[in-house]
Structure 1
Amino acid sequence: MAILALAIGGFGIGVTEFVVMGIMPQIAEGIGGTEADVGHGISAYALGVVVGAPVITALAAKVGRKRLLLAIIVLFIVGNGLTIFATEVPTFLASRFLSGLPHGVYFGVASVTAASMADPDRRGRTIAKIFLGLTIANLAGVPAATWLGQAFGWQTAFMIVVLIGVINLLAVLIWVPAGPVRSDASITRELTALKSGQLWLGLMIGAIGFAGIFAVYSYITPIVTGVSGVPEALVPLIMALFGLGMTVGTMFGGRLADWSVDRSIIIALIAMAVVLGLFGAFVHITWVAYVGAFVLGVCSQLLGPPVQIRLMDSAPQAPSLAASMHHAAFNMANAMGAAAGGFFIARQMLVAPAWAGVGFALAGLLVAVLTMLVPRKRIFRRRYQVDTTTGSIAIVPMD
């Protein structure tokens, strides 16, 4: 039930992050801006994640995990509540930035909490269960919120998000155990994670590699309606297919990560580059939009669990900060991808975001290969064991 409670939060975050892509025209009209302005709202949310993940996690080093989770869920509710009342571009951007602040912190703390409940050789699959909330959001929550936003006003979508936030707050309060507060926890200790070269290289893999998906997905509505000929009424189906692909990708990504973290990262990035290339070449065929949405969703989540584990292992003295930085990288990718895609969309070059995506995926692959060639510290050749009583991570020899 604790894992389910944490996954509900992932579901809410998934809805608020991705529903914007499906109701861009409605939001643009409502705030008196353009679709490019709404794209800047995507970037503002991502910037909030990038800022909030390290800052809030470090400042809350001495706060128990459950109390921190409850506090950031409240912040999530407030931020999305303000989005409902945005009537101009500046207020919309500000509310999206505020809504993004708790994102990385939530997933970071939730991932460490989930890992503390799992056997060391099943961390990938356990963390993937938290990510399933995010992917199921794209399978069911985002299409439903998109339909409601199109039918009853875009604000309705964010009312749903606030309701999910309230449910998440109650579920965490009831089911997630409090857990101990580490006696040696401090802001300084958390920030020592930032000294790890492997941490920064891992963040680069996520930030650059993920940007390829967001260059396309951030503008999936104008691409599939303007190039593929998909009716606007069927855009929720496109979103659902992407979400279904994310769900499948998350399940496989967790298993791949438990098999081999490094190999799964390479496989994911190669698959991403190939699929984005095929999507760009054939998206003018209507059925390719539907199939492509599903396969892009699969590729987007193959990379998540292995990158998360790589980051946590790169800073065992501060796993919460390292884990939260994963979603900072993920949303830096969101910001870069949305900015790159928006550059071409504003010039009516509707297929170009796919080619930009191929470039991002190949650049991420290059960083991944270089990262794996860099000699690692001896600590990376050890196995970690989580003490479920204290929540601490102990290093034990490999079998």
Structure 2
Amino acid sequence: MSSSNNLEPSSRKKRLFPLSLLCLTLGAFAIGMTEFIIMGLLPNVADDLHVTIPQAGQLITSYALGVAVGAPILTVLTHRIPQKKLLTLLMFIFIIGNALSMIAPVYSLLIAARVMTAFAHGTFLGVGSLIATRLVQPDKRAGAVSVVLAGLTIANIIGVPFGTFIGQQLGWRASFGAITILGIISLIGIVRFIPLLQQEKISDLGQQFRSLINPQVLLVLLTGALGCGSLFAVFTYITPMLETITGFAEHSVTWILVLFGFGVTIGNMVGGKLADWKLMPSLMANFALLVVILALLTVTLHNPYTAIITVFCWGVAAFGIMPGIQIRIMNLTREAPLLAATSSHSALNLGNAGGAYLGGLAITFTGLPSVPWLAALLAALALIGAIVSYQTGKRSSTSTSLPQSA
């Protein structure tokens, strides 16, 4: 009898843990839809709320700034809340923000609702990643993070096109209604299936800040921001590049971006596996591959077939770095990882905004064909950051082990 009782918790763990990870993935999927769906609905929103397209575009900018600013602020305010309760609270904020977006009668309220939703974005992904690493064996941590982040990538393949279709057929408010429903399903799953994990001693804010401002952590945050900058420098302007340089029709670009989304999802999952195998070597190799692919894109864009192949490979390489960056930050901040883990999403969103801005400058001064070169340069700087981080970590490990060997 006692032996069967001992086996039952173990078998329950094996059965429930994958489902609990799926609840986190669904939450990330809903977050991904919220962030990107507005891009396809800007004309509808602008027409309904009687604002210009540039004003409607501020809904994207305000969301990105909300993620960048909100993640550290919300983490500071909620760092003493147990992780499962915090995750539940964040998803509740996300649901309310999208529900307000759905019914917002005026532009200013929609902006406020978007910012409110964005506040939950980075903290949810940071806390969700931390919980995911505790639901699996230590050698599967990066893989677990990649499963959670897969929600963001799958949202670009399925969620955004489907949500945009709903918005175009039933009105843009229906899209936010669909996201609200997804949030409610995710919340129910989190409450029901995420186990109550025993937390170690809660670190104080001073310890959290010290972990965040560790030079090694800041270097990894900068490296991740540069990697995201290289992605968005091209991704923001990929449609005009494919239409103007390659010669694709507008409807063809949509399917190429879906293919890119498949590449992103594959890269995210493979990147997680590689990071579990050899974290820093795989991360450096991934950045090096990204530099080569972006440099090749300047040539392959001129041929439709090579352009499609390169765009797919670029998606694989670009998102292969994400799980490794997150795990590297967690490894460097084991004593107090929460603020650093959530701030990583702030850094990545700042990288997104910076890459898009620099890409626009490149187009203004040197034209569309120069954008992949700019992205390759940003990826090369990220590669240098990863190499420096790796070498510094090796020297630190060597100096720590010397007294013991002596």
TM-score bucket of the superposed structures, by smaller chain: 0.7 to 0.9
Contact 1:40/1:339 (CA < 8 Å) preserved in 2?
no
Farther off after superposition, 87-96 or 51-60: 87-96
- Structure 1 position 203 matched with structure 2 position 232: no
- Structure 1 position 33 matched with structure 2 position 56: no
Cα distance in 1 between the residues matched to 2:286 and 2:248? 28
Cα distance in 2 between the residues matched to 1:59 and 1:110? 17
Specify the alignment match of 1:133 in structure 2.
151
Of 178, 189, 192 in structure 1, the residue corresponding to residue 210 of structure 2 is 192
Cα distance in 1 between the residues matched to 2:279 and 2:161? 32
Contact 1:142/1:240 (CA < 8 Å) preserved in 2?
no
Quick one: structure 1 residues 78 and 227, their matched pair in 2 at CA, closer, same or farther if it must change by over 3 Å?
farther
Identical amino acids, percent of aligned pairs:
34
Report the alpha carbon displacement of residue 380 of structure 1 after superposing the two structures with TM: 9.4
Cα distance in 1 between the residues matched to 2:62 and 2:220? 23
Of 178, 184, 189 in structure 2, the residue corresponding to residue 160 of structure 1 is 178
Farther off after superposition, 194-203 or 319-328: 319-328
Deviations 1:88-129 (A, max 9, x none): 776655444333211211111111111112222221112211
Specify the alignment match of 1:12 in structure 2.
30
Quick one: structure 1 residues 25 and 379, their matched pair in 2 at CA, closer, same or farther if it must change by over 3 Å?
farther
Cα distance in 1 between the residues matched to 2:182 and 2:398? 39
Which residue identity is paired with 1:317?
A: E
Gaps of 5+ in 1: 383-396
Aligned to 2:182, the other structure's residue is in SS state: helix
Aligned residues: 382
Quick one: structure 1 residues 39 and 310, their matched pair in 2 at CA, closer, same or farther if it must change by over 3 Å?
farther
Contact 1:144/1:236 (CA < 8 Å) preserved in 2?
no
Cα distance in 1 between the residues matched to 2:247 and 2:103? 33
- Structure 1 position 103 matched with structure 2 position 103: no
Farther off after superposition, 47-56 or 183-192: 183-192
Specify the alignment match of 1:389 in structure 2.
none
Farther off after superposition, 267-276 or 219-228: 219-228
Mark the structure with the bigger radius of gyration. Answer: 2
Contact 1:228/1:285 (CA < 8 Å) preserved in 2?
yes
Of 28, 42, 53 in structure 1, the residue corresponding to residue 60 of structure 2 is 42
Contact 1:205/1:367 (CA < 8 Å) preserved in 2?
yes
How high is the TM-score relative to the length of structure 2?
0.83
Farther off after superposition, 285-294 or 273-282: 285-294
Which residue identity is paired with 1:205?
A: T
Cα distance in 2 between the residues matched to 1:176 and 1:355? 44
Matches for 1:194-343 after TM superposition, within 5 Å: 194-288=212-306, 290-343=308-361
Contact 2:217/2:329 (CA < 8 Å) preserved in 1?
yes
Contact 2:227/2:318 (CA < 8 Å) preserved in 1?
no
Structure with the higher helix share, 1 or 2? 2
Specify the alignment match of 1:388 in structure 2.
none
Aligned to 2:79, the other structure's residue is in SS state: coil
Cα distance in 2 between the residues matched to 1:87 and 1:205? 41
Report the alpha carbon displacement of residue 303 of structure 1 after superposing the two structures with TM: 0.3
Of 60, 66, 83 in structure 2, the residue corresponding to residue 65 of structure 1 is 83
Cα distance in 2 between the residues matched to 1:29 and 1:227? 31
Aligned to 2:335, the other structure's residue is in SS state: coil
Quick one: structure 1 residues 324 and 200, their matched pair in 2 at CA, closer, same or farther if it must change by over 3 Å?
same
Farther off after superposition, 84-93 or 217-226: 84-93
Quick one: structure 1 residues 375 and 178, their matched pair in 2 at CA, closer, same or farther if it must change by over 3 Å?
closer
Which residue identity is paired with 2:324?
A: P
Farther off after superposition, 220-229 or 323-332: 220-229
Quick one: structure 1 residues 278 and 22, their matched pair in 2 at CA, closer, same or farther if it must change by over 3 Å?
farther
Farther off after superposition, 153-162 or 115-124: 153-162
Report the alpha carbon displacement of residue 366 of structure 1 after superposing the two structures with TM: 2.0
Contact 1:143/1:239 (CA < 8 Å) preserved in 2?
no
Quick one: structure 1 residues 120 and 126, their matched pair in 2 at CA, closer, same or farther if it must change by over 3 Å?
same
Deviations 1:326-370 (A, max 9, x none): 222221111112222344567894444333322221221222222
Which residue identity is paired with 2:177?
A: M
Matches for 1:119-130 after TM superposition, within 5 Å: 119-130=137-148
Specify the alignment match of 1:75 in structure 2.
93
Report the alpha carbon displacement of residue 186 of structure 1 after superposing the two structures with TM: 2.9
Contact 2:362/2:374 (CA < 8 Å) preserved in 1?
no
Cα distance in 1 between the residues matched to 2:307 and 2:189? 37
How high is the TM-score relative to the length of structure 1?
0.84
Deviations 1:206-250 (A, max 9, x none): 011111111222333444344444444444423321221111101
Quick one: structure 1 residues 47 and 246, their matched pair in 2 at CA, closer, same or farther if it must change by over 3 Å?
same
Cα distance in 1 between the residues matched to 2:131 and 2:154? 20
Contact 1:16/1:161 (CA < 8 Å) preserved in 2?
yes
Quick one: structure 1 residues 380 and 77, their matched pair in 2 at CA, closer, same or farther if it must change by over 3 Å?
farther
- Structure 1 position 143 matched with structure 2 position 158: no
Gaps of 5+ in 2: 1-18
Farther off after superposition, 161-170 or 270-279: 270-279
Quick one: structure 1 residues 150 and 381, their matched pair in 2 at CA, closer, same or farther if it must change by over 3 Å?
farther
Cα distance in 1 between the residues matched to 2:104 and 2:356? 21
Report the alpha carbon displacement of residue 49 of structure 1 after superposing the two structures with TM: 1.7
Quick one: structure 1 residues 225 and 169, their matched pair in 2 at CA, closer, same or farther if it must change by over 3 Å?
farther
